[in-house]
Structures are given as C-alpha cells and as structure tokens.
Structure 1
Amino acid sequence: MNLLSVLPLAVVMVAGPQLIAAIFLASSRTAKRSSLAYLTGAALAVVVALTIWYVVFRAVRHTGDGTGGDRTRHLIDWVVLVVLLMLMVLVYARRKHSQPPKWMGRLEEARPGFAFGLGLLLFAAMPSDQATMLSVAASLAGHDRPWWHLLPFTVLTLVLLSLPLLALLVLGQRALAVLPRIRDWANAHSWLVSEAVILIFLALVVADLFK
C-alpha cells in the first residue's frame, strides 16, 4: 500500500455535505473570506485526525516488530477492510438524502468565524470522514510509510473542497449560475462516486492481504 493508493479516497472525504457547504459559502456575501475560513477549519480537523490515527496504528505496527510484524500488518489490513465495508454501508444508507439540510441555506449569510467552525466540525464529527481517515492513516502506518505521506492526501482533499471557491475566482459572477448545478449533481450522484472509489481501495486492501 502506498501514497498513490490512498489519494483517491480524498473524493470520499468531500462528497456530501462538506462540498455542499463549500458551494453555499462560495455564494455567500463574504464568499472569499468565509470559504478560506472554512478550508482552514477543515485543514485543521483533517491534519489532527489523520495524525492521531497514524500514531495509534504506528504504535500497533511496531508492537509486532520482530515478533510477527507481518501478522501485525495483516491485522491492520483486516481492520481497514472492516472499516471500508462499514463505510460503504454508511454511504449507501445516506444515498437518499439528496437534499441538503435546511440550515445550509443560511450559509449564504455566514461569517468567517462560523465558516471556520463549520469546516472543523464537519470533518471532525462526520463518521464517514473519520472512517476514511482511519483507513488512510492505518494503511500508511501499517506499511511503514512516513507521516508526511499523509500530507498529499490532505492537500488533495482541500483542493477538491476549494473547487467552488476556485470557480468563483475564475468565473466571477458567472459562477453563481454554475454552482447550483454542481450542487444538484453532487446531491444526486456523489454517493455513487464515493462507492466506486471505496470499492477500488477495498480491492487493493484485499489484494494486499492475500498476496
């Protein structure tokens, strides 16, 4: 398992209310400042959670060094496999929630401070994101990859999350006509994209277990 294997899971990180919130904020009165604050909160939550999971599974991995290191690595792979299966079930169960919560409509009036807290909360408290970050950190730690390999995954997550803001910067006011269509498409199809990405990573984990 390597860095390139876990990068696609960044799509799962932002699919759902995380990207929808970013779209609403990009349409707000303080779009640029609120979007940047939202990204900052998200970055903090992702880095902290990934680091915690990495330290936990790195400690587990080193527990088996010299006394069955391969068994420990495979045990971590089994944990990741179970978590990925649970994540697939969770994403599938949420597929019918095609409409954003009513409170998201109020994000167009959100201030940067609220946007920062929202970014922090959405990524720290969402079970699907925690399961994804656990899978990424456990896979890298279990295969003795260095901590900094988490950073490209974090950066890609933030790049995907910043797409509404980038659209606003590139298209200007024309983005206000494009963003609602992106939001509607994400509402309807993001779960399918997430399931496909999880399934690919699941296959990689299975292949690693039985090679």
Structure 2
Amino acid sequence: MSMLELLPLVFVMIAGPQILTPIFLATSENWRKNSAAYVAGASLSISLIVTLAYVFGTGTVGQGASNTTLSAIVLVALLLAMVNTYRTRNESEPPRWMGKLETATPRFSFRLGFLLLGFFPTDILTSVAVGSYLAANEAPLTDAIPFILLTLLVLALPSLTLIAFGDRAETFLPKARDWMDENSWLVNEAVIVFFIAMSLNNLF
C-alpha cells in the first residue's frame, strides 16, 4: 500500500477518543508506563484484527472476492459512520472511562488501547479493510507493517512530545486535548470524507 493510501487510514484509526486518550495519559501521574501500555495494547489488537482479516480474506479470494466488492462494502460502512458522526455531534458528555485517565494504571491503559484500537467501529472497519485489501491483491501480510507502525507512532506522539519538550508540552497538551474534544466530530467527518473519496476512486 502506498503512503497516500496509508495516511487517511491512519487518521481514521486515531480520530476521536483514540488520540484523546494518549493525550490524557501523557498528563497522568504514571504517564510513561501508561502511555507505553496504551500503545502496546493498540499494537496487539490492530495486528490481531489485520491478521484475521488477511487469513479469512485469503481463503475467499479464490471464491470471487474482488477489490471492487471490498471497496463497495467499505464505502457503505463509511457512509453510515459519517451519518452517525453528524447525528451525535452535539453529545458532549465524555465517556465514563475518560474520568479514570488521570489516575489510570498501566493495566487499565493496556486494556483501553487494546479495546479502542481493536474494536471501535471505525477502527475494526479500517483494520479489516487493510487485511482484506492485502489478501485480495495477494500481497504479503508484512505489507501491513507500515500501516501499523504509522498508527502507533501517532498514538505515541503525545508522550514523545512530552519527552522532547518537557514543560512547554505540559502547557500545550491540555489545550490540544480541549480543542480536539470540542471539534472531534469535525475531524472525524473530514477523514471519513477523504476515505470515501478513496473508495469511490477504487470503484470507478
């Protein structure tokens, strides 16, 4: 997969609570271990879903699965996600688990990374799309490594920023968190539209 194809996929993976969470964790009491545990959980779940999609996709390629069919399925799912994002744009109440992030433990952070990046609707859709795409094109599973690594790098950016910039990052991160919290639905819509354009390009 080319870098042009990877970038929107990565943004779909991290848009919303997926990137808000590592920002919160980077300002938690045990931020180093929490941030590392979150990324580790995410790496496990993303790799698992991509691999399963690849294995099952490989088994169905000979039965007529095609890029066009896969693109059509992804397109329908994205349109539904876009409608749902717009419908819930005014629901400002944060998830209950976000209140636990400031006092999170590494175990909680690992579990959260595993669940958010592995089983959040847009994330599981994206990981399945990557695995199925590689299977349909008879590409090796290792071609998914850049997608996984780039996603993990973005998730690690809050803690890496804190390591690199120290006190300045401690001032900046809460502001970034608040802005993304208030505008997350717009960010989600933007990346979904970008991904829809890619799916339409594959179809036509």
> Shared fold by TM > 0.5?
yes
Classify 1:13/1:93 alpha carbon distance in 2 versus 1 (closer, same or farther; 3 Å): farther
SS in 1 for 2:166: helix
Aligned to 2:34: 34
Deviates more, 1:103-112 or 1:189-198: 189-198
RMSD (CA atoms): 2.1
TM-score of the two chains, using structure 2 as the length reference = 0.88
User: Partners in 2 of 1:195 and 1:83 — Cα distance?
Assistant: 13
Partner of 2:47: 47
Q: Which residue of 2 aligns with 1:195?
A: 189
Gap runs ≥5 in structure 2: none
**Counterparts of 2:90 and 2:49 in 1: how far apart (Å)?**
28
C-alpha displacement of 1:3: 5.6
Measure how far apart 1:105 and its partner are.
2.8
Corresponding residue of 2:123 = 129
Distance 1:52 1:93, change over 3 A: farther
| Residue 167 (1) aligns with residue 153 (2) | no
Question: 2:56 matched to 1:56?
Answer: yes
Residue of structure 1 in register with 2:5 after alignment: 5
Deviation at 1:29, TM superposition (A): 1.1
- Deviations along 1:75-102, one digit per CA (max 9) or x if unpaired, are 2222222222223223333433445334
1:153 is the counterpart of 2:147: yes
Residue 140 (str. 1) matches residue 134 (str. 2): yes
Percent identity between the aligned chains? 43
Q: CA deviation at 1:173?
A: 2.9
User: Could you state the TM-score of these two structures normalised by the residue count of structure 1?
Assistant: 0.86
1:37-95 Cα offsets, whole Å, 9 max, x none, are 1110011011101111222223222323xxxx7xx332222222222222322333343
Which of structure 1's runs of 4+ aligned residues deviate more than 4 A? none
Identify which range, 94-103 or 82-91, moves more after superposition.
Answer: 94-103
1:97–1:137: structure 2 CA closer, same or farther, 3 Å change rule? farther
Tell me by how many angstroms 1:2 deviates.
4.7
Tell me the distance in 1 between the aligned counterparts of 2:23 and 2:195: 27
Counterpart residue identity of residue 140, structure 1:
L
C-alpha separation between the residues in 2 aligned to 1:104 and 1:155?
Answer: 25
- Contact preservation (8 Å) 1:24, 1:107: yes
Cα gap change, 1:92/1:132 in structure 2, threshold over 3 Å: closer, same or farther?
farther
Spell out, residue by residue over 1:159-206, the C-alpha distance to the aligned partner (whole angstroms, 9 max, x if none).
111111011101213322211111111112233233222222322222
Structure 1 residues 192 and 176, CA, compared in 2 at 3 Å: closer, same or farther? same
CA 1:132/1:106 → structure 2, altered by over 3 Å: closer, same or farther? same
Structure 1: runs of 5+ lacking an equivalent = none
User: Structure 1 stretch 134-143 or stretch 154-163: which is displaced more?
Assistant: 134-143
